[in-house]
């Protein structure tokens, strides 16, 4: 899982609650990404950030929010507007987001469960 850490490993959300998933990298990568993984659906892009203080919506951004105030950190907030948040959430990073040849490196993931 390289130099990307995600916390917590498991997270429980109550109805109407916002929760924040942490992602930190020490790889000096410019670009960071959040994916959602559901069984049988592969990975779907939620948000991505190619540089500090900039981020863009992915395919399934509704009900989620992010910030990128530091190069090393890209936290994801799952808001109460996300009606089906139960999933495995994966954070990834790459050296330069604009380079098509680049490999994305993944963190160990956070499993979010609804109480």
Partner 1 sequence: AQSVAQPEDQVNVAEGNPLTVKCTYSVSGNPYLFWYVQYPNRGLQFLLKYITGDNLVKGSYGFEAEFNKSQTSFHLKKPSALVSDSALYFCAVRDMGSGGYQKVTFGTGTKLQVIP
Name the site residues for partner 1 (rule: CB under 8 A): 1, 4, 6, 35, 40-43, 45, 48, 50, 56, 58-59, 88, 90, 92, 97-98, 100-101, 103-109, 111
| Residue among 13, 26, 24 at smallest CA distance from 78 | 13
- Distance CA(56)–CA(58), nearest Å, equals 6
Residue 85 or 97 having the CB closest to partner 1: 97
Residue 36 or 82 having the CB closest to partner 1: 36
CB of 22 to partner 1, least distance (A): 14
Strands (E), the chain: 4-7, 10-13, 19-25, 31-37, 43-51, 54-57, 64-66, 76-78, 87-94, 105-106, 110-114
CB of 95 to partner 1, least distance (A): 13
CB of 50 to partner 1, least distance (A): 7
CB of 106 to partner 1, least distance (A): 4
Residue 3 or 80 having the CB closest to partner 1: 3
- Distance CA(27)–CA(20), nearest Å, equals 22
């Amino acid at each position: 899982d390289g130099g990307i850490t995600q916390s917590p490993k498991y997270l429980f959300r109550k109805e109407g609650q916002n929760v924040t998933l942490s992602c930190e990298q020490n790889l000096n990568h410019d670009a960071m990404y959040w994916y959602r993984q559901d069984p049988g659906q592969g990975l779907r892009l939620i948000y991505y950030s190619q540089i500090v203080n900039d981020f863009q919506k992915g395919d399934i951004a509704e009900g989620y929010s992010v910030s990128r105030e530091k190069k090393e950190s890209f936290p994801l907030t799952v808001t109460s507007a996300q009606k089906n948040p139960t999933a495995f959430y994966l954070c990834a990073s790459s050296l330069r987001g604009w380079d098509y040849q680049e490999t994305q490196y993944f963190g160990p993931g956070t499993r979010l469960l609804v109480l």
